[in-house]
Amino acid sequence: MTRPLALSAGDPAGVGAEIIAKAWRALRQDGPPFVVVGDAQLLASAGGDVKVRPVTGPREALDVFAEALPVIDIPLLSPVVSGQPSPSYAPQVIRWIETGVGLALSGAVSGLVTAPIAKAPLYEAGFKFPGHTEFLAELTAAERFEGARGPVMMLAAGDLRATLVTIHTAIAKVPGALDVESIVNSGLVTAQALRNDFGVANPRLAVAALNPHAGEGGALGREEIEIIAPAVRALRDLGVDAFGPAPADTLFHAEARARFDGVLCMYHDQALIPVKMLDFWGGVNITLGLPIVRTSPDHGTGFDIAGRGLARPDSLIAAIKLADQIAARRGA
C-alpha cells in the first residue's frame, strides 16, 4: 500500500505554512503525497485559495490529497503574528515533531519532512536539544548501523552530497571537537547512506582537510597529520573507499566532484557554502543514521518575509521528493 510522507509544520511565525501550501499546489496531482502535522487554521490562512482538510490519519490523507491539503490538526493555543516568533508556540511545535516521528516509527508514513523551526524561542520554553537533528535522534533512539551511530547531517544539491563531522560548533572550537572516532563514525554512516539511500553500490568518499593546504605538512596545523589522516586510514581498513585529507578549496568544482560520491567536511560552512553556491534554492538537509527517513529544506524560518507571500517552496519540494526516493530505496 502507498504511504504518504508526514510533514511537520515548523515555526508558526515563519514561512512554513506558506511553503507547505505552495508545495501542495505543485505536487497535488502527481505527488509524492504527504500529510501535514500542524494547525489547520494557520495552514488555511497562509495558503490563500488552498483547501485544507483535517484528517484523522495518513490513510485518509491519501484519499483527499489531490483535492485538499490534508492536516492532522493539533491547534495552536495562542494567536500567531507573522515574523514574530514566540515561546508560547513551543509546546505545539514540539508536539507536531513528536507526532510526525511517531507516525514514521510506526510505519504509518514512509518518512518525515520537517519545515524549519527557530531554536531561540524553543530554548526560552525549556527545549533541551541544540536543534531538530538532535531531538530526532533522541525521539528515535537511533540504533547502531554497521558499527556507527547517527545522527549525521548531510546537505545535498545537484551532484554534491556533503556530510558534517561537527555541526553547529563555533569555528574556534572546531579543532578541539575533532577526533579520529567522530570522523570514522561520520564516514561509516555516510558510506552506508550512499549505498542504502542513494543507490551507490561502491561509494567513494572524499575527506576534507581542516586547515589551508591540508596543513602544509604541519606548518599550518597538525590536525591533518594527527587526526584526519589516521581516520581516513581507519575508514579504508573498514572497507570504505575514502581518500584525503584533501584541501577543501580543491574539492568542489565540477571536475573534482566527479571523483567522489560524497564528501565529509569538518565544519558547518565548509559544506554549506559549496552546497548553497551550487543550488541555493534547491538544497536539501538529510539526517543520516536514523531508523526513519528525515529530510528538510536547507533554509531557515524566513521571519523577515513571513506573511508576505514571497517565500519560495523549491527546497521543501526537493526535500519531499528526496524523502520519497530514499523511502522507496529502503523499501526495496
Q: Is the peptide bond before 245 cis (omega within 30 degrees of 0)?
A: yes
Query: Tell me, what's the pLDDT at 148?
Result: 60
Asked if residue 7 lies in contact with residue 35, where contact means CB atoms within 8 angstroms, the answer is: yes
Asked if residue 4 lies in contact with residue 320, where contact means CB atoms within 8 angstroms, the answer is: no
- pLDDT one-digit tens code per residue, 40-61: 999 998 866 789 999 999 999 9
Distance CA(272)–CA(81), nearest Å, equals 30
Q: For 213-242, what is the mean pLDDT? A: 97
Asked if residue 103 lies in contact with residue 109, where contact means CB atoms within 8 angstroms, the answer is: yes
Q: Answer positive or negative: Cα dihedral of 254, 250, 199, 20.
A: negative
Query: Tell me, what's the pLDDT at 147?
Result: 55
Q: Burial, 64: exposed, middle or buried (Cβ in 10 Å; 0-12, 13-18, 19+)? A: middle
Angle at which helix 180-196 crosses helix 229-237, to 10 degrees, equals 50
Q: Is 244 helix (H, G, I), strand (E, B) or coil?
A: strand
Q: Count CB-CB contacts under 10 A for residue 204.
A: 17
Query: Tell me, what's the pLDDT at 331?
Result: 82
Name which of 123-132, 139-148, 225-234 the model is least confident about: 139-148
Query: Tell me, what's the pLDDT at 109?
Result: 97
Residue 2 confidence class, pLDDT cut points 50, 70, 90: confident
- pLDDT one-digit tens code per residue, 191-201: 999 999 999 99
- pLDDT one-digit tens code per residue, 85-111: 999 999 999 999 999 999 999 999 999
pLDDT above 70: residue 1: no
Asked if residue 88 lies in contact with residue 78, where contact means CB atoms within 8 angstroms, the answer is: yes
Please name which of 184, 157, 196, 180 lies closest in space to residue 290, comparing C-alpha atoms. 196
Asked if residue 49 lies in contact with residue 24, where contact means CB atoms within 8 angstroms, the answer is: no
- pLDDT one-digit tens code per residue, 137-194: 889 985 545 556 778 999 999 999 999 999 888 999 999 999 999 999 999 999 999 9
Query: Tell me, what's the pLDDT at 149?
Result: 77
Helices (H), the chain: 16-27, 40-46, 58-64, 90-106, 119-124, 132-140, 174-177, 180-196, 223, 229-237, 254-257, 268-278, 314-331
